[in-house]
Amino acid sequence: MTSKSHSKITGFSGNEIFCLDQLGYKAGQLCLGNNVVALGMGRGIGAGLSNLAGGEITEITQLVHEGRKNAYNRMMKEARQYGGVGLAGVSFDMINHGGNLEFIALGSTIHDSKTKNDTMDFSTSASGQQLYCQIDSGFTPLSFVFGNVAYSIGVGGNIGGAFRGLKRGEVPQYSQIFDRTRHLALTRIKKEAKAAGANAVIGIETSIMPLMYTQEMMMTGTASIHPALKDYADDPVTCDMTNEELWNMVNLGYLPIKLVMGVSVYSLGLASGIMAGLQSLIGGQVVGLTEILYEAREKALERIENDAEKCGADEVVGIKTRVYDLGGGLVEFMVIGTAVKLMKGANTKNKALPPQAIIQDHETFVDVTQGEDSTITQSGAASARKTQKGPLSIIISIVFIIFYIWLKMHSQH
C-alpha cells in the first residue's frame, strides 16, 4: 500500500517546534504504521498451557512484539519516503477489534534546516522538547527501542501461593514470578540497544496493561550514545528519569547507571486477614494491613538498594512506588528508580533549559464517548487482580485443550 504525501502535517506542538529550531532542526511530516494480528488456534493452545504453568506466556509476548515491530517498520518506511534526518515522538497504541489486535506506531520526521541531508539517521521516543534535553545532556540518539513480556501467575503459583498465603509474610512464589518477568522487559530493551550500537537507553517509560487474560509489561526508550559511558557498550546503561530530570542530574555531574526495580509480594495471612476485616467494620487503624504494606515496602527498597550498590552507584533517584492488590489478602509492592553516579565528562552544553523545553502541553481535545474499552491502553487498571483474571484464563485454557483433543479424535474417524 503506497502512502500519500502529507507534507504540511506534523505531530509536533508549538513548544516542540521551538526546541527543534534551537537544535537546527525543523518539524516534518506525521508518520503512521499499523499491523493487525490474531492469536490463532495453535498459539492459543500454547498460550493456554503456558498460562497454566505460570511465568512468561511466550506465545503472547512474541505475537505482540511482532505486531508492534511490523507497525514500527511500516512507519519507518513511510518516514524514509518523506526524507529527513530523524523520527521523533515514536509511540505505540493498541486497539482491540473484536479479538483482533491492531498495533499502531506514530512519529514525526525531523529535517535538518542547514543541510539537504535526507538520510534517516535516528529514531527516538523523545518528543521535540525531550530531544532537546537529551542532546543538550550530551546524548546522541540512535534508535527507538522497546522490550515487553506477557506473564501469568498460573496454577502452580496460585496453588503454592495460596498455601503460603495462609501465613503472614512474604510469598516467595509470587515475588519470584513478578520480579523475574518485570526484569525480562528490561533485559530485552537493553538487548535491542546493544544491537543498535548504543551504550545507554534513556527516557524509559514503563506500562503494565491487561492483555489476552494475562498482564503485559512494556518498556520503551531511546538507544543512545554518551562519550563518558564508553565502558558500558557491552552492558548499556538504563534510565527511567524524565528527560528534564536527566538534564538536571547531568548538569550536576551525574550520569545514569542502571534502572533498578524491587518487587515484594506479601500475604496478610488468614488470622490477620480476619482481624483486618473485623477492624474495617469497627473503624480506625487497620493494624495488620498497615504493617504488611510497610514490610513489603521495606523489602522492595532493600532490594533496589542492594542492586544499586552492586553497580557502584552513588544514589538512586526518581523513586516511584506502586502497590497492586492481588486479592485474597495478597499485595505486591514495586519500586522503580534510576541509580546514578558522579562522573567525569558529565556536563550539559548550556547552563539552563529554555522555558519551552519544560512547558507541558495541555490536551485540547478530550473524547470520552468511546468508554474505557475502546483501546487497551486506556483500559489498563492499577489493580493486578483486575488484569490477571487467573480463573478465567485457566478455564479458557482448558476449553482450548479439550477442543484440540476433540478435533484430533474426530479427524481420526
Instruction: State residue 83's pLDDT score.
Output: 86
Q: What is the pLDDT of residue 30?
A: 94
**Cell 538498594 identifies what position?**
305
pLDDT digits (tens, 9 = 90+) for 30-41: 999 999 998 665
Per-residue pLDDT tens over the stretch 207-232: 988 877 778 899 999 999 999 999 99
Q: Is the pLDDT of residue 373 over 60?
A: no
**Grid coordinates given for 254:** 551525574
Task: Order across the sheet with 140-152: list the strands.
Answer: 55-56, 140-152, 214-225, 200-211, 237-238
Rg for the chain, CA atoms, rounded: 23
Structure confidence at residue 404 as a pLDDT band (50, 70, 90): low
Residue 44, pLDDT above cutoff 70:
no
What are the residue ranges spanned by the domains of the chain? 14-348+383-407
Mean pLDDT across the stretch 95-103? Answer: 86
CB crowding 159-176: b at 16 or more within 10 Å, else e: ebbeebbeebbbbebbbe
Q: Which residue has the higher pLDDT, 352 or 369?
A: 352
CA-to-CA separations, 201 to 82, 204, 247, 305, 329, in angstroms, rounded = 27, 7, 15, 21, 37
Please give the pLDDT value at position 282.
Answer: 53
The C-alpha cell at 332 is 505486591
> Which of the listed ranges 150-164, 219-233, 257-271 does the model predict with the highest average pLDDT?
219-233
Can you give the pTM of this predicted structure? 0.81
Burial of 189 (0-12, 13-18, 19+ CB in 10 A): buried
φ, ψ dihedrals at 264, nearest 5° = -145, 135
User: Is 236:197 a contact under the CB 8 Å cutoff?
Assistant: no
Whether 294 has a pLDDT exceeding 90, the answer reads no
- Tell me how crowded residue 147 is: count the other CB atoms within 10 A of its CB: 24
CA angle, residues 199, 75, 142, in degrees to nearest 5 = 15
- Grid cell 555531574 in the structure block, residue: 253
Please check whether residue 203 is in contact with residue 238, taking contact to mean a CB–CB distance below 8 angstroms.
Answer: no
Tell me, letter by letter, the H, E, C secondary structure of the chain: CCCCCCCCCCCCCHHHHHHHHHCCEEEEEEEEEEEEECCCHHHHHHHHHHHHHCEECHHHHHHHHHHHHHHHHHHHHHHHHHCCCEEEEEEEEEEEECCEEEEEEEEEEEEECCCCCCCCCEECCCCHHHHHHHHHCCCEEEEEEEEEEEEECHHHHHHHHHHHCCCCEECHHHHHHHHHHHHHHHHHHHHHHHHCCCCEEEEEEEEEEEECCEEEEEEEEEEEECHHHHHHCCCCEECCCCHHHHHHHHHCCEEEEEEEEEEEEEECCHHHHHHHHHHHHHCCCCHHHHHHHHHHHHHHHHHHHHHHHHCCCCEEEEEEEEEEEEECCEEEEEEEEEEEEECCCCCCCCCCCCHHHCCCCCCCCCCCCCCCCCCCCCCCCCCHHHHHCHHHHHHHHHHHHHHHHHHHHHHHC
Decide which of 212 and 126 is more confident. 126
Q: Greater confidence, 268 or 348?
A: 348
Half-sphere exposure (Cβ direction) of 98: Cα atoms closer than 13 Å: 0
**Would you place residue 174 in the very low, low, confident or very high pLDDT band (cuts 50, 70, 90)?**
confident
Return the pLDDT at 391.
Answer: 38
Whether the pLDDT of residue 290 is over 90: the answer is no
pLDDT value at residue 228: 96
* Residue pair 57/47 in contact by the 8 Å Cβ criterion: yes
What are the tens digits of pLDDT across the range 271-287? 444 444 444 455 555 45
C-alpha cell at 316: 538512586
The 10 Å Cβ neighbour count of residue 359 is 14
